[in-house]
Structure 1
Amino acid sequence: MKTINGWRRAITTVSFVALCAASSFSATAQAAADLLAQAKANGTLRVANTQSSPPWSMLDENNKPVGYDVAIAKEVGKRIGVPNVVFVADSFKNFVEGLKTGKYDLVMNDLTPTPEREQQVDFGDPYGVEDFRIFVPAGNTDIKGKDTLKGKRVGVVTGSSNETWARAHLRDSDIRSYDNGGLVFNDLGSGRIDAVIISHFGGMKYANVNHLPVKEVGEPLIYQLSAPAMVKGQPALRAAVNKAISDMRADGTIQAIAKKWVGRDYDMPGTIAKAQAQKE
């Protein structure tokens, strides 16, 4: 009986080890797969965005993704040989894990290359930049800048770089996270929170579209670059995306797209260069 039980335990152990080895092999194979070649073979490039982050990504009246990042992603797809770009809706907090599990090939939605993110995924060259500001109700006179946010209820988007910045620099504030910008501005308008930290572009878009009586106060808190994110170990995809972005900056495509979605007078390539110089 002991011998039979011993064999059973041995077989179970071997089976478990084999299963773990198979899972490890599968994960390694997935990481080693050439995603650019796969996208070309499938004829589809899967790009994640929130579809609720104007002017970067949002839904139009026909529920189709539009915006600056959407237009950039479509152009990148054409230039790397995969013109059929399929957009996958997700939230900032899921982007990194979504890439690592193969849910999409790229994330292009105003995503900032932070040191924490760069430990887990790779980033291409920047194609966008923005400044983060404080938004308050139009009638507010107490909040005038960063130093007056002590004890205030401050809304941010979950998983975004503005949440990371707020939690690191506003330790005396009540930071409240929301899954999308629309919800955070709704609560600002209803008085559930006192202020919102978000990009100038995104904040003004929400304010104008929803006719909200809000205003910006203080100086810009930070300037942040946005770049395409991808799973680690994809040199071909990264090189192709970087070349497309470089060519788009050089031939005026990025400025033309920025003029349409961000603002007529906003110098996107020039501001990217300034932000890069400050970072260096």
Structure 2
Amino acid sequence: MKLHHLVRSIACAAVLGCVAYAADAQIIPADILANARATGVIRVANTQSSPPWSLLDDKLQVAGYDVEVAKEVARRIGVAKVVFVADSFKNFVDGLKVGKYDLVMNDVTPTPEREKQIDFSAPYGVEEFRIFVLNANSDIKEKTDLKAKRVGVTTGSSNETWARANLKESDIRTYDNGGFVFNDLANGRIDAVIVSHFGGMKYATVNKLPIKEVGKPLTFQLSAAGMVKGQPALKSAVNKAIADMIADGTIDRLSRKWVGPQYDMIGDIKEALKQQ
């Protein structure tokens, strides 16, 4: 091939690559809420692999606490249909900023770092994060025992942020998929996992894994709906929907269904807000 043909081919490939890379990016409407009401559709991102918040059920349908909350929020803000977009925690912020979806609802904590880039609704969930190890592990009983240990976390999650800030002498290993981190724990590739009490226990039960949680809760984290900045109508509508769902018992009903019959989601949200 002649040089100029080769250069042109490389240039074309580069352009096509850029087009492919930008394929998910969309023009963000000036008013996302008005657009969603007009089209009858709102796009909500979740991992679909972080039970009990979002998962695929035995019929491969998206299910979970955040999924049902999202559907109810959509109904209350006047949008008929929710299209769930599967993505990973590490992509959620950028996905919102390029218009890949309108909301993120998957146990996402409104941290100061994230709030610099995107907006959050009022909280609709809260959870404790714990240390999980194999049942046979007798070395790790609390946070101080994680020194020099291999600790698994979900990439881009608040678990990772907390672990990197508080476990500086541990070997932090990240996973895009919440399921893979437990597989590596079971196979002995890592020594411990930091994940929510609910997510860890649910995953252990469903997959019959010989794991246990140890020590006191490491951190107590709220979750809220994430959205691109500059959408006051959307934020106000979602906040009202969540407030009404807390007041009329919907949040309590959904949390007891998905997280556990004894779990007081509303009470723990209030307690977490007091500690901020």
| Both structures adopt the same fold (TM-score exceeding 0.5) | yes
1:258 aligns with 2:255: yes
Aligned counterparts, 1:181-200, within 5 A: 181-200=178-197
Counterpart CA distance in 2 for 1:49 and 1:30 is 21
Partner of 2:83, secondary structure, is strand
1:92 aligns with 2:89: yes
TM-score with structure 2 setting the length: 0.90
Alignment-derived partner of residue 167 in structure 2: 170
Residue deviations 1:82-116, cap 9 Å, x none? Answer: 02011000000000000000000000000000010
8 Å CA contact 1:32–1:233 kept in 2: the answer is: no
Partner of 1:226, secondary structure, is strand
Distance 1:265 1:93, change over 3 A: same
Alignment-derived partner of residue 119 in structure 1: 116
Alignment-derived partner of residue 47 in structure 1: 44
Counterpart CA distance in 1 for 2:55 and 2:223 is 17
Partner of 2:215, secondary structure, is strand
1:160 aligns with 2:153: no
Moved over 4 A (4+): 29-32
- The number of residue pairs the alignment matches comes to 252
1:147 aligns with 2:144: yes
Counterpart CA distance in 1 for 2:70 and 2:274 is 25
Counterpart CA distance in 2 for 1:144 and 1:60 is 33
Q: Percent identity?
A: 71
Partner of 1:72, secondary structure, is helix
Partner of 2:193, secondary structure, is strand
Alignment-derived partner of residue 102 in structure 1: 99
Structure with higher Rg: it is 1
1:63: how far off? Answer: 1.0
One-letter amino acid of the counterpart of residue 256, structure 1: R
Structure 1: tracts of 5 or more residues without a match: 1-26
Residue deviations 1:203-244, cap 9 Å, x none? Answer: 001100110000000000000000000000000000000000
1:62: how far off? Answer: 1.4
Partner of 1:102, secondary structure, is coil
1:163: how far off? Answer: 0.4
1:64 aligns with 2:49: no
1:271 aligns with 2:268: yes
1:181: how far off? Answer: 1.2
TM-score with structure 1 setting the length: 0.89
Alignment-derived partner of residue 31 in structure 2: 34
8 Å CA contact 2:133–2:192 kept in 1: the answer is: yes
1:30: how far off? Answer: 4.9
1:215 aligns with 2:203: no
Partner of 1:265, secondary structure, is coil
Structure 2: tracts of 5 or more residues without a match: 1-24
Counterpart CA distance in 2 for 1:32 and 1:77 is 17
Counterpart CA distance in 2 for 1:221 and 1:94 is 25
